[in-house]
């Protein structure tokens, strides 16, 4: 469930941030592409730490960390000015989204396969990947529609789209947290 809004946010961020960089900040396509290099570095660094985080925090808390980092990055992007700058207005949010995605998507994939038998691992992985793709498609449809529904994108349209994405990811984090608390209660009840 949490994979859908997380993947929606990722796909929407790629598309909308690129439009913002080119249409608002007026970077060339090459410059906009190069602006993603720090994003990629942050993503790779985050992914390299997932196993360590899962070992220290557990799968659920690691997934929550990823969701909250993503929501923080989206929240930053939800305040984009009408005429912003790459390094002060866009990059901090992009780095937060990248770190959150790297941690969150890997932890959620791990959670999807945690209690699956070896015979069912391929099916479970395929379902998780399909849900990931579904989220990305929905993100593009809904978030891009929000930002571009009025024709030419304006700062307020980008802010609304990133704001909705942040709310979706926060809702997913709330569901994961409540599920974790409920699972803890039922486990305690069984032990009693």
Per-residue model confidence as pLDDT tens digits over 157-169: 889 999 999 999 9
**pLDDT tens digits in sequence order for the chain, 192 residues long:** 789 999 999 999 999 999 999 988 999 999 999 999 999 999 999 999 999 999 999 999 999 999 999 999 999 999 999 889 999 999 999 999 999 999 999 999 998 888 888 888 899 889 988 998 999 999 889 998 888 876 666 678 889 999 999 999 999 999 999 988 887 665 454 443
pLDDT of residue 114: 85
pLDDT of residue 26: 94
Angstrom distance (rounded) from CA 61 to CA 69: 12
Burial class (CB in 10 A: 0-12, 13-18, 19+), 38: middle
> Can you tell me which residue has the tokens 């949490």?
2
Give the number of other CB atoms < 10 A from CB of residue 178. Answer: 10
Supply the pTM of this predicted model. Answer: 0.90
Burial class (CB in 10 A: 0-12, 13-18, 19+), 140: middle
């Amino acid at each position: 469930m949490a994979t859908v809004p997380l993947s929606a946010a990722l796909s929407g961020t790629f598309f909308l941030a690129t439009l913002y960089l080119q249409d608002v900040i007026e970077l060339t396509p090459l410059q906009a592409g190069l602006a993603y290099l720090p994003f990629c570095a942050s993503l790779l660094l985050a992914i390299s730490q997932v196993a360590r985080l899962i070992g220290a925090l557990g799968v659920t808390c690691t997934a929550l960390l990823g969701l909250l980092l993503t929501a923080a990055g989206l929240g930053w992007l939800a305040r984009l000015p009408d005429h912003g700058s790459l390094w002060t207005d866009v990059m901090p949010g992009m780095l937060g989204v990248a770190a959150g995605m790297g941690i969150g998507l890997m932890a959620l994939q791990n959670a999807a396969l945690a209690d699956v038998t070896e015979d069912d691992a391929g099916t479970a992985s395929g379902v998780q990947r399909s849900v990931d793709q579904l989220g990305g498609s929905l993100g593009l449809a809904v978030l891009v529609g929000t930002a571009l529904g009025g024709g030419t994108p304006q700062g307020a349209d980008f802010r609304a789209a990133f704001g909705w994405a942040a709310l979706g990811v926060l809702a997913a984090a709330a569901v994961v947290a409540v599920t974790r608390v409920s699972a803890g209660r039922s486990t305690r009840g069984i032990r009693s």
